[in-house]
Structure 1
């Protein structure tokens, strides 16, 4: 939500503020990228960021780090810059899928020099305008391809119509969030036809955004309640949300937890017993690592499926989870689109995180009940939650 608010604020017709934004490596890279193209983005106050839009200009360089939001949300607006904008990032970023978005932008007149793999390093040769129009794209590797085009679409001369052709687009709640946030700033969005999204050209309004707590970042803390038989509350959860709260409730219920929304926040209670489940996680794929950790501690087998696209995330999450869970003693079968996990007594070992914050979250959950589990790199959690080590320690200590 912070990433989307930053982009929309940078192309709006007036200033915007973000209340309680997520300060993490990904959002700081997004802020820096917008600044590099000329936007005024003040992030000095942790609880209140201010964005004042200015015409985008090049030359500029964007460090995408390992952030899918930066590498997929910024190139469409870079086409609006008056000059070249270069993109590069961490070594793994060069392997993350980007080609369908690049081809879609080329089809509406944006000149891009991309790497041989179709992604970063690349240069968007901004001309100060993008014609827009209709694009056909296979977004089965990432819903962010669609979101990136929609977020910029109102600033295109003809708006944008995005038609998806291919296997189902994953992470549907993220697309609903994109459409909801566009409407909140005056964007005319039509998403009534399956696999077609249209944004009319027009000015977007600056506004104040109140950023919700992040459900994906909360997942390991909720999982802690299940494996310990404890209770965890995420403070300040809103009564209505574009995030997949109901889906999370159902998944945790199946695995032996109880989720309730009260006046103080979103609470998960566990019994200390975790049940296995069979679930298609295509719409909530970010939860896969934590759910896989729970599955390894369950009292029955699990099948997690529908997540082939997470092989192109920060690392190949399917392969990495299979490898690391096996190293702890779990019986795991890897398929093209997921994992089958048959619990066994687990043992301590060093859990490799592959620079992936979600892998670190999974290891932390298992380490609550299995002695001797060590993370080779917990600092990778700074990608989306720099406070993770401190928050985890305080939760375990009950302070």
Structure 2
């Protein structure tokens, strides 16, 4: 029975770095994810004047509730959406001029709902080139707080950025949300804020964040559930068995619910106190599934869908069009390259059963999740290759080696 050691969660590591930087005291993060995204976040904190000490298994961050230690900084956010969205909010709590830029890929991704909300709270900022996109300059003078309305229909990260900022404001925040995707990611944020000493209230669609700051702590990062989905899906596809320790009952990440999708398709799933096991049964049934709350695992399901006995229709995933790439169309394009019949709509994709062709090059679009998902196609379609296999360094630099070991173990 292969046991796969999944790296720490990207989402949790990014939130933990923000909370540690904002907390009063020194925070130790245990088993943080070491990847391009999280290294970029840590580097951004250092550019803002925070001390980040690193060992192989822990990171230590000296918190500054008053905001960045420097009054001027240039921060390059790389490809990281959490870096590009969370750090400007953190900088707004300080006093100084902070400039943020990002890769061409990240420059294309929308920022306007967050920056509009920050402006409504009195934060002085400007988009240097295209409105609603990086590069961005924040002229910070602290944040008074108060009431604000936010549209988080494209990304829950906008809401998370404001929630994390709330305790650093002078009055606290009342955030009314008009639309929201990926609700489980917001639950991660609320649970982590609680671990750092802040309890967020809820009044219908309004989140009530008290002022007063955070307290430092020691915080263990659980394995990344989105990354685990590729290994769970491999078990379901091959009839093998995979166990991931560290993800079980009480896991923070909503993407663990992907195993329920595999269960509906015929896999056997066991979720224990501190681990989850998926065992394939030799059967993959077609289904229609709403993946609004676990949309990062949409490409995982799309990649194994051709091997199901009936059509697989994935609905309510419009927000996947504004991720690292348009993931709906990226999945559709690569499935067509494999000879699989597929249709897409504004927020859905439907995939017919088929036999994927061998020897196909997968177009990655620079998106780590496209590469990791379509690696599974190579389990039954020999000769699959990628135009940019190295883009997995964004979240899992050792993915190809780990996946090869699992493939050999399952046979």
Q: TM-score, normalised by structure 2?
A: 0.93
SS at match of 1:303: strand
Q: Which residue of 2 aligns with 1:37?
A: 48
Structure 2 segments unaligned to the other structure (5+ residues): 1-11
Summarize the Cα distance change of 1:179–1:367 in structure 2 as closer, same or farther, 3 Å threshold: same
Is the aligned partner of 1:223 residue 2:233? yes
Could you tell me how far 1:82 is from its partner in structure 2?
Answer: 2.2
Is the aligned partner of 1:313 residue 2:323? yes
Could you tell me how far 1:38 is from its partner in structure 2?
Answer: 0.9
Could you tell me how far 1:198 is from its partner in structure 2?
Answer: 1.5
Q: How many angstroms apart in 2 are the aligned matches of 1:231 and 1:344?
A: 24
**Which of residues 268, 271, 279 is equivalent to 1:269?**
279
Equivalent residues in 2 for 1:82-97 (5 A)? 82-97=95-110
Q: Which residue of 1 aligns with 2:292?
A: 282
Structure 1 segments unaligned to the other structure (5+ residues): none
**Which of residues 1, 5, 21 is equivalent to 1:10?**
21
Could you tell me how far 1:272 is from its partner in structure 2?
Answer: 3.0
Deviation per CA, 1:114-168, whole angstroms, max 9, x where unpaired?
13231201111122x1111111111100000000000111001111111112xx4
Q: Which residue of 1 aligns with 2:344?
A: 334
Is the aligned partner of 1:294 residue 2:307? no
Q: Does structure 1 conserve the Cα–Cα contact (< 8 Å) formed by 2:109 and 2:323?
A: yes
Is the aligned partner of 1:372 residue 2:379? no
Could you tell me how far 1:247 is from its partner in structure 2?
Answer: 2.5
Q: How many angstroms apart in 1 are the aligned matches of 2:363 and 2:104?
A: 17
Q: How many angstroms apart in 1 are the aligned matches of 2:101 and 2:357?
A: 39
Q: Which residue of 2 aligns with 1:248?
A: 258
Q: Which residue of 2 aligns with 1:260?
A: 270
Greater CA drift, 242-251 or 384-393:
242-251
**Which of residues 178, 186, 190 is equivalent to 2:197?**
186
Q: How many angstroms apart in 1 are the aligned matches of 2:309 and 2:384?
A: 20
Is the aligned partner of 1:123 residue 2:137? yes
Q: How many angstroms apart in 2 are the aligned matches of 1:344 and 1:395?
A: 24
Q: Which residue of 2 aligns with 1:158?
A: 171
Q: Does structure 2 conserve the Cα–Cα contact (< 8 Å) formed by 1:347 and 1:372?
A: no
Summarize the Cα distance change of 1:249–1:363 in structure 2 as closer, same or farther, 3 Å threshold: closer
Q: TM-score, normalised by structure 1?
A: 0.96
Equivalent residues in 2 for 1:126-145 (5 A)? 126-127=140-141, 129-145=142-158
Q: Does structure 2 conserve the Cα–Cα contact (< 8 Å) formed by 1:102 and 1:119?
A: no
Could you tell me how far 1:238 is from its partner in structure 2?
Answer: 4.4
Could you tell me how far 1:324 is from its partner in structure 2?
Answer: 0.9
Q: Figure out how many residues of one structure are paired with residues of the other and give that number.
A: 394
Is the aligned partner of 1:27 residue 2:41? no
